[in-house]
Structure 1
Amino acid sequence: MKTNRISLSLLFTALVLFVTVPAWAQDILPFPDPPMGGRVGPTMQQSVHKWREAPSHLPEDAPNILIVMLDDAGFGQPSAFGGLIETPTLSRLAEEGIAYNRFHTVAMCSPTRAALMTGRNHHRVGAGQIAEFANDWDGYTGVIPKSSATIAEVLGHYGYATSAFGKDHNTPIDQIANGPYDRTPTGRGFDYFYGFIAGETSQWEPVLWENTTPISTPHPENHEDYHLTEDMADKAITWMRRHLAVNPDRPFLMWWTPGAVHGPHHVAKKWADKYKGKFDDGWDAYQRRTFQRQKEMGWIPADTKLAPRPKEMPAWKDIPEDQRAFQTRLMEVYAGFLEHTDVQVGKLIDELDERGIRDNTMVIYILSDNGASDWGGTRTPMVISWPKRIKPDDTPRSQFAHVNDVVPTIYDLLEITPPKVVDGHEQDPIDGVSFAYTFDSPDAAEQKTSQYFDIMGSRGIYHEGWMASTFGPRIPWVAAMPDLSNWDPMQDEWQLFDTRNDFSLMNDLASENPEKLEELKKLFMEEAEENKVLPIGGALYTGLNPQEMKRSSNIQWTLFEGITRIPESEAPNVRNGNLRVEIEAEVPESVSGVLFAMGGYAGGVSLYALDGTLYYEYSALLLKRDKIKVGALPAGEVKIAYEMRTPLERAAPAELEFWLNGKEAATGKVQRTVPAVFTASETFDVGMDTASPVANDYFDKAPFKFGGTLKRLHFKYLEAE
C-alpha cells in the first residue's frame, strides 16, 4: 500500500508540473519526444513526410565540459601552487584561466566523487564511506539514489554526449559481478565508460571495464611499455574524435578521473629519476620550502602560520640514516607519478586545441579528491579555464567553495534549473551553491555560507567564516582502527577557528568564544540529521566489524573453467574462515597453470601447478607470504581437495590440509590471514590469474592459463570447530 501511495504521489506531482508549465520545461526529465514533422493522410500521396526536429534545450553555443580530478594529491605538491613537483598542464590552465585556493573536498574518494557528480552532500547520496565498506544506514549504503540524478544524467537529457574515463568508486559492489548495471557509470548517465570499478588498481596490470564488459588485462613483455593513465588519455582522445566526427554539433561532457596518484605508485623509472636528490633533505624541509613559495606566489596569505608536524608522524631527523634512501625514493617515485599524470591531462588539452574546440571548452581541473593519502585533507587546488568566457586572472579566488558546488555552477552557466523529477523519480534538493559569480570578480562577497564535513567520525562545520571541528575517535593519519568501546561522540573535544584571518587553522578560539562554538556544534547536529549523517561515526562500522561487510550470502559455489572476474565480495571466501574446496580436473603430464586465484601480488591466494607439481601461495598484504608444496599431480583424471580452518581472531593464522585423489598430500599453515579484503579491484578467477599475478612462480607468465581441463570446482563453508 505504501508503494502505491508513493507511485500516486509521483504521478500527481508529474501531472501538476505538466499542466502548470510548458511541456518542454526542465522541471521534468526526460523532455517529451518531439511530434512528427509531416502529415499523415489515407495514402502516401495524400501524406507529407518531413523528419521531426527536436528542439534545442541548451543555450546557443553551449560549451564542451571536461572535468579532471586526480587522486591522493596534496595542496603543497604541484608546482602550479608552489610545490616542487612539475605540473605543466595545471600551470598552463591556471595561466589561461583562474584558480581557487579555498576549494574543498570530502577527504575521501567515494564520498567526494558522489558529491561532485550529484551536487549533493555525500551522506545525502549514501556515500558516507567508500563503497566497499558500505552499511545499511541511509547515509552509508554506497548507493547513489535515483532521487539524486547525476550531472551526466541531467546533461544527457539536455543533449550532451557524455563519457567517463578512469576510476569509478561509486558502483555498489554487488552489481559488479553480474548486474543489474543500473548504478555503474553507464547506469548513472554516461554514454561510455572506460576504466576500473574500485578504489585502486595496478597501473601496469589494471582490472579494466569497458561500459559493463570486463576486458582483458594487458601483459606486455616489458611492463613499462603500458601504463593505465596513458591508456586513459588515448581512449579519451579516440572517443572525442569519434564524437566530433559523428555529432560535431552536440556538446560533450567528459569525466576524466584517473587512479593516479593513488597507490600503488607505478610509473616508468625515467619519470621517477627526474626527481633524484630533490627530496634528500626530507619532508620537514620540504614543507618549509613549499610554505615559503606559496606565500611568495600569493596562494596563501602572508600572515599564514606554518602548521607543525603532528606528533604521531616521525620527524625526518629521526629517520635512521640507513632508511633515508628508501624514503626519498618513495618521494621520487610519487613525484614522477604526479608529473606523468599531469602530462597525460596535457594530451587532452592539446587535442582540444588541434580539433579547434579549446576556446569553447570549459576545463575544470580539481587536483585531487582528497589530500595526499587515504586520510588526506579537505582543501585542494582547483583551476578553471574557458577561453571564450573566462578572462585570465592570476588573483586567487579565495571564496569558500566545495566539491558539491560544481554541478550547480554548471547548471547556472547552462541556464538549467535543477529538475524536480528525473525518469519518474522526485529529486532531492541540490546542496551546492554556484560559484560562477567568482569568474569575473575575484573579490566578490562569498555566497556559500555553510558546509558540514564528516568522514569516519572526524567532523566539522563551516559557517560564515567560522570553522568548528573535531577528530572524533581517531587520528586521520594513523591507520589503526580506533577502540570505540568507550567512545561517546557527544563528549568529543571541539576546536574553533576564524578562517577569515587564520588560513592554516592554527589559532583555536574554543576557550575564548564558547558561545560561538556551541552555536556551530548545534548547527552541525542539525545538518547531520538533515543529511543522514547519523549515527555519528557510522562509517566506521564495517571496518570494525568486517563480518558485516556486504558480501554474497552463498555458503557454497559450483564454478567452471572460464568463469573469471568475480569481485572478491561476491566470490567464495578463500581468504580466511573455514571452507572445503573440491576440484575435478583432467591433468596432462607436467601440467602448469592456475586452477584458481583471488586477489593480486600484494594480497591474494592462488592454487597453481608448475611443471606437474601443485602449489598453494598466500600473500598477506606483503606482510607475510606463505607457499605450500602440495605434491606431484598424477596424469589423467584427478580429484584435488583442501580444507582451511581459521580461528575467529582478527588476522589469525590458518591451518590447511590437502588431498590428491583422496589421499592426504600435504599440510601447511598461513601465518597471517587477511580479515577484510585482499584488494580493492582484483578478482576471483578460475583457470587463470587475470590481472596482477598472485604468485612469484608465474609472475612473468600471467595470466598463466591452466594447461589441463577443469571440469568442476566446488567451494563450501564449514562449521567452525
Structure 2
Amino acid sequence: MTSPAGPPADSRGYAGFGGTAAELTSRSSPWWPPARRARPGSPNVIVVLVDDLGFSDLSPFGAEIDTPYVQALADTGYRLTNYHSTPLCSPSRAALLTGLNPHRAGFAMVAHVDPGYPGYRMEIPDDVPTLAESFRAGGYATFMVGKWHLTAESRLHDGADKGSWPVQRGFDRYHGSMDGFTSLFHPHRLISDNGPAPDQQYPDGYYLTDALTDRAIEMINGLRAGDAAKPFFLYFAHQAVHGPVQAKAADIEKYRGRYDAGWHRMREERFRRQLAGGLFAEGTEISGSDPAGTLGVPPWDELSAEQRALYARHMEVYAAAVDAVDQSLGRLVEHLRLIGEYDNTIIVVTSDNGATGEGGIEGTRSYFSRFVNLPGLPAEWCPDVPRDLGLIGGPRVHGHYPRGWAHLSNTPFRYYKGHTHAGGVHVPFVLSWPAGLPRTQGDSGVRDQYAYVTDVAPTLLALAGVDRPAERGGRPVQDVDGVAFGHLLADRRQPSRHRAQYVECAGGRGYFEDGYKIIDASPPGAGDNWELYDIAADPAETTDLAAADPARVAAMAASWHRAAWLNTVFPLVDDPAALNTRPSTELALSRPVTIYPGTPVLERYRSSKLTTLRSFTVEAYLDHRPGDEGVIVAHGDQGGGYVLFAEDGELRLTYNAYGLPLRAAGPMPGPGPVTVTARFTALPEMRWDIDVRAGQDRVLGLAAVPQLLGMAPFTGISVGFDHGGPVDWDLHERRGVFRYRRGLLRVRYVPGEKAPYNPEIIAMVEEAARRAID
C-alpha cells in the first residue's frame, strides 16, 4: 500500500463542491434543504438498485431488452444521463445509503477485504446515519429486500456482532442475501430480519428475483394492515444481474436468436437509439471497439460458429435476467396502483456500477473457476468448464457472459466495472414521482447535468421532507458529501451543484470538475499518467487532451490529492497482495468446529476459513444401523463443492469440480458406532487428495482433485442435509435435500496446515494495539 508522506498544507478543499466542508455542509448553507419532517401525505420512497447493470441495458437508455415498466417511469419521470456511481458495488451502496463519499463511509473496496486502513473499515461508521435510519426517524416504515454487502464477511456468521446488519442500521424488516452475490435458483444463505431463513429445499420454479418481490409486497401489505397512512421507504437491492447470471427458461426463450448479430452490430444499434432519444448530442463520439480499447474483445465475425452460438446464449440469459427485473418492478407498480399509492410514490431505478468484464474474453460456464485471482494457478486450470448449451442460464450452470457483451452493456463508454473510466462509473438513473414532480408539457425528462451517487440520499430526503438526524447514538453525525439535485428535475435549465468529485478504486484514480475529468489507471508509484477528457463534449472519453492542456491536468491532479487526504483515500493499493492481510481477530474462525444436525447452514466465509488453501479433516460420528441413509455433510453447490452421503448400503462421495462431478463409492461399515473421516490433503499446484475411512478402514478416495478456490465452495457447510444449491444434481433429482433421519450424531471440522501457496497474512492487531498504547 502506498501513501504520500503527509497531507498538503491546504487540505481543506472539499471534494464535492470546491469550498470547505464546514462552509458547504453547514445547516445554514444554501446547499442544505430546509429542515422538515414527514407530514400527512408524505410520499412513499422506493429505490430499486440493480447489480452490475450497464448504462445502456434498459430500454430508456438504448437497450433492445424489453423493460416496459422502466420505460414507463422514464416516459413520465426523469432520466439522468450524467449520473455516476463508484466503480464497485459495496462502495456505491455505502455512498448511496449515507450520502458520504465511499472511503469516508468505510468502503474503499468490496466487503471481502480487511487490511486495517481507515477507508477499508467495511462497516458504515457509528456516527453516520443510513438513509433508512433517517427515514425511520422521520416517521417512515423502512423495508429492505435483496443484497446488503455492507458488512465485513468475517461478521456475517450467526455468532458475529450484528451491529452492521440491516436491521441494526435502520431497517424494520429485511429479507435477502447479505453477501455480494448468490444463485438465483438456490440462494446460498438468506437472512430474514436478523437471522437465517429456515433451511429448506427450494421448490421447483423458485427464482430469487420473484421471491424478493413477493417479500417486498408482503412487507407493504403488512404495514397497510396495521397502519393505512404511514409512509414507507423500500430499498430493493437486486441480486441480479451480478454473476452467476441465471434466468427463467421462458424469459430466455423470449430472447432466442436476438443476439446472433454479435456485439459490435448490437452496440451500433443501441447508440443510434441513444442519439435518437436525446441522451447524447448529435456528433457525440462512441468509444472504440477494437481489442486494445476493450481489453481484448475480438471482432464478432472472426469467431467460429460454435463460439458465436455459445456467446449469444450467454447474452440471451443476461437479457432475460434484466427482463425479470423489469417484471419485478411491474409487480410493485401494479400493486401500488391497486392500493391507490402509485402517484404518491417516488421510485428510483439505477445501478451500483457499470457492467462487468469479469466473465473474461470467452465468458464462463463455471463462474467460480473464472473468479479466481491467485498467483500460481496451474497451467491446466480451466476457467470455463464445458457444459451443454441448453443448461446455460439454468440452475445447474453458474455462468457469466463474455466481455464483449459488457462492452455492449456500457454503450457508448469504455471499459467495465472496477475501472474509473466511464464504463465503470457512468450508469443509468430514472426517477419518477407523478404527484410531486409531474413533467411539464414539452419536457423530455432528460437531464444531462452531473450527479453522483452521494447525491441520492440528500435528494430523497429533501423530496420527502425528512430531516437527516443530527445525532446517532448520542454523537453528532458526520456531514454528508452529496447535494440534493431535485432542482434539476423541476427545472432542466438549472446547473448542477455537484461541481467536483474524486474517484479511487484499487489504485485507479479519477477527478471530475466542471465538465472535465482526469483519469490515471496506472499503478501507484508508476508516476503520474493522467488522461484528460472534456466529458461535456466527449462523454465517452474518446479524445485525451492531457498533452494539449497540462496546466489543467496539474491543477486537477492537485485537487484530487487534496480530496484524497480529506476522504481517507490513502494508502493506495500498489500491490493487490496487500489486500490479503486479515486481522488476527479472524483466527477464531479457523479453529475446529463441531456441527450438529439441525444447525443452520454454516455461513460461507466461516466455512471457508476451515478449508481454503489448506489441508483439513472432516470427522462424522455415526451410530449406524442397516438402512440408515442421507447426507452426512455437504459443502458447496453446482458451482463447486463436495457431498458425503450414505445411500443404498454404500458410502458415497461426490466432488463437484466447478461443474464437473467426480464420484467415488465404497461399502458402509457394519452396525454400531463408527467415525467416518474424510481427509483433504493439500498438494502442490492447488490440488487435494481425498481419503475417506470408516474407523481405520479406507472406504474410498479421489486423487489430485482441483482445490475449490476464491469464492468456492459458495454455499456453506450443512450437516445432515444438502442445503441450497445441490452439490450433486443427480442426487438432488433422486432425493432432494436428502436428510439423514437418524444415527448422525455430529460432524467435526479440523483445519490443518495452510498450503505454501496460501497468500493470507494475519496481522496481529491486538499486539499492535498494545504496542501503540505502550
Give the TM-score taking structure 2 as reference length. Answer: 0.79
Q: Using the TM superposition, give the Cα deviation of residue 193 of structure 1 relative to its aligned residue in structure 2, in angstroms.
A: 0.5
Offset at 1:492? 5.0
Shift of 1:253: 0.5
> What's the counterpart of residue 715 of structure 1?
749
Give the C-alpha shift of residue 189 in structure 1.
0.2
Which structure 2 residues correspond to residues 43-82 of structure 1 after superposition, within 5 A? 57-82=37-62
Q: Over residues 198-239 of structure 1, what are the superposed CA-to-partner deviations in whole Å (9 max), with x where a residue is unaligned?
A: 111121112322101212465456x3x221111111221121
The answer to whether the aligner puts 1:510 opposite 2:546 as a matched pair is: yes
- TM-aligned CA distance change 1:550 to 1:105, over 3 Å: farther
Which of residues 520, 533, 538 is equivalent to 1:497?
A: 533
| Structure-1 residue corresponding to 2:573 | 537
In structure 2, the residue matched to 1:159 is 139
Tell me how far 1:395 sits from its aligned partner: 3.8
C-alpha contact (below 8 Å) 2:610/2:750 kept by paired residues? no
Who is 1:325 aligned against? 309
Could you tell me which of 342, 351, 363 is aligned with 2:335? 351
Q: Name the aligned partner's letter for residue 254 of structure 1.
A: L
SS in 2 for 1:279: coil
Once residues 539 and 259 of structure 1 are traced to their aligned partners in structure 2, the CA distance between those partners, rounded to angstroms, is 30
* Stretch deviating more after TM superposition (315-324 or 505-514): 315-324
Could you give the per-residue CA deviations for residues 155-208 of structure 1, whole angstroms, max 9, x where no partner exists? 111211100011111123233322322211111100000111111112111232
| C-alpha contact 2:591 2:610 (8 A) present in aligned 1 | no
Amino acid at match of 2:345: T
1:680-695 matches, cutoff 5 A: 682-695=715-728
Partner of 1:359, secondary structure, is: coil
How many residues are aligned here?
648
Q: Distance in 2 between matches of 1:552 and 1:130?
A: 23
* Cα distance, 1:333–1:553 mapped onto 2, change above 3 Å: closer
Report the identity percentage.
27
8 Å CA contact 1:364, 1:382 repeated in 2: yes
CA contact (8 A) 1:272 1:333 kept: yes
Unpaired runs of 5+ residues, structure 1, are 1-25, 28-55, 474-487
Inter-partner Cα distance in structure 1 for 2:252 and 2:709: 34
Residue 235 of structure 1, aligned match among 215, 234, 237: 215
Of 314, 320, 323, 2:298 maps to 314
Q: Which amino acid aligns with 2:171?
A: F
Distance 2:574 2:661 in 1: 34
Q: Is contact 1:72–1:373 with CA below 8 Å preserved after alignment? A: no
Q: Is the CA contact (8 Å cut-off) linking 1:134 and 1:542 kept in structure 2?
A: no
**Contact 2:619-2:675 within 8 A present in 1 as well:** yes
Letter in 2 for 1:208: L
Give 2:67's aligned residue. 87
3-state SS in 1 of match to 2:676: strand
Single out whichever of 314-323 and 61-70 deviates more from structure 2. Answer: 314-323
**1:387 counterpart = 2:369:** no
Q: Which moved more, 1:400-409 or 1:264-273?
A: 264-273
Structure 2: which amino acid aligns with 1:559?
I
Shift of 1:106: 1.0
Matches within 5 A, 1:85-484: 85-178=65-158, 179-206=160-187, 207-216=189-198, 219=201, 223=204, 225-309=205-289, 310-372=294-356, 375-376=416-417, 377-392=424-439, 393-473=443-523
Cα shift readout 1:531-556 (whole Å, capped 9, x = no counterpart): 12211127944665689995744421
1:444 maps to a residue whose letter is Q
Listed one character per residue, the Cα deviations across residues 81-134 of structure 1 (whole Å, up to 9, x for unaligned) are 111101111100011111110111112111111111111111111112221233
Q: Aligned pair in 2 of structure 1 residues 108, 550: CA closer, same or farther (>3 Å)?
A: farther
* SS of residue paired to 2:54: coil
**Partner SS state of residue 546, structure 2:** coil
In structure 1, distance between residues paired with 2:754 and 2:324: 50
DSSP-derived class of the 1:148 partner: coil
CA separation of 1:219 and 1:586: change in aligned 2, threshold 3 A: same
1:710 & 1:547 partners in 2: Cα distance?
A: 35
For residues 741 and 308 of structure 2, what CA distance do their matches in structure 1 show? Answer: 46
Q: Which amino acid aligns with 1:557?
A: V
- What is the CA deviation profile of residues 517-568 of structure 1, one whole-angstrom value per residue up to 9, with x for unaligned ones? 1222222222222212211127944665689995744421222222232112
**Amino acid aligned to 1:602:** G
Indicate the larger mover: 464-473 or 631-640: 631-640
Residue pair 2:723, 2:737 contacting (<8 A) in 1 also: yes
CA contact (8 A) 2:590 2:751 kept: no
**Deviation at residue 415 of structure 1 after TM alignment:** 4.4
Superposed CA offset, 1:444-500 (max 9, x none): 112101111122222211111110112234xxxxxxxxxxxxxx4352522111112
Query: How far apart in 2 are the matches of 1:588 and 1:345?
Result: 53
Ranked by relative contact order (alpha carbons within 8 Å, sequence separation 6 or more), the top structure is 2
**Alignment CA distance shift 1:294-1:218 (3 Å):** farther
Does residue 664 (structure 1) correspond to residue 646 (structure 2)? The answer is no
Equivalent in the alignment of 1:480:
none
Between Structure 1 and Structure 2, whose CA radius of gyration is higher? Answer: 1
Offset at residue 285 of structure 1 (A): 0.8
Alignment check: 8 A CA contact 2:613 2:754 kept:
no
CA distance in 2, matches of 1:251, 1:162: 9
| CA gap 1:438/1:685 in 2 versus in 1, 3 angstroms | same
* 1:581-622: CA deviation from partner (whole Å, max 9, x where unpaired): 322112232443221122221022222222222233333433
**For residue 272 of structure 1, what is the amino acid of its counterpart?**
I
Local SS of the residue matching 1:646: strand
Partner of 2:687: 653
- Say yes or no: does 1:702 pair with 2:718: no
User: How many angstroms apart in 1 are the aligned matches of 2:536 and 2:717?
Assistant: 52
The SS at the match of 2:97 is: helix
- CA distance 1:242–1:315, change in 2 (3 Å): same
In the alignment, residue 559 of structure 2 is paired with which amino acid?
L
Counterpart contact for 1:205–1:217, Cα < 8 Å: no
Does structure 2 conserve the Cα–Cα contact (< 8 Å) formed by 1:113 and 1:369? Answer: no
- The aligned residue for residue 665 of structure 2 is 629
User: Is the CA contact 2:45–2:346 (under 8 Å) kept in the aligned structure 1?
Assistant: yes
How much does 1:416 deviate?
Answer: 4.4
TM-score, with normalisation over the residues of structure 1?
0.85
Contact 2:201 2:736 (C-alpha < 8 Å) held by counterparts? yes
Q: Within 1, Cα distance between the matches of 2:66 and 2:351?
A: 13
Contact 2:504 2:510 in 1 (8 A): yes
Amino acid at match of 1:280: D
Q: 1:542 to 1:346 in 2, by over 3 A?
A: farther
Q: Say which of 677, 687, 699 aligns to 1:641.
A: 677
Partner AA of 1:604 in structure 2: G
Structure 2 Cα separation of the partners of residues 154 and 244 of structure 1: 21
Question: Which residue number corresponds to residue 42 of structure 1?
Answer: none
Q: Which amino acid aligns with 1:534?
A: F
Kept after mapping to 2: 8 A contact 1:218/1:226 = no
CA distance in 1 between counterparts of 2:239 and 2:575 reads 23
Structure 2 residue runs without a partner (length 5+)? 1-26, 29-35, 359-415, 418-423, 756-774
- Indicate how the Cα distance of structure 1 residues 422 and 249 shifts in structure 2: closer, same or farther if over 3 A, else same: same
CA distance in 2, matches of 1:620, 1:139: 36
Aligned to 2:412: none
The answer to whether the 8 Å contact 1:551/1:570 transfers is: no
Q: Distance in 2 between matches of 1:426 and 1:517?
A: 37
Q: Out of 600, 611, 616, which is 1:579 matched to?
A: 616
Please identify, of 315-324 and 547-556, the stretch whose mean Cα deviation from structure 2 is larger: 547-556
Q: Which moved more, 1:463-472 or 1:632-641?
A: 632-641
Residue type of the alignment partner of 2:65: I
Query: In the alignment, what sits opposite 2:32?
Result: none
Change (3 A) 1:683 1:311: closer
Number of the residue aligned with 2:402: none
- Residues 123 and 618 of structure 1: CA distance in aligned 2, closer, same or farther (over 3 Å): farther
Corresponding residue SS for 2:547: coil
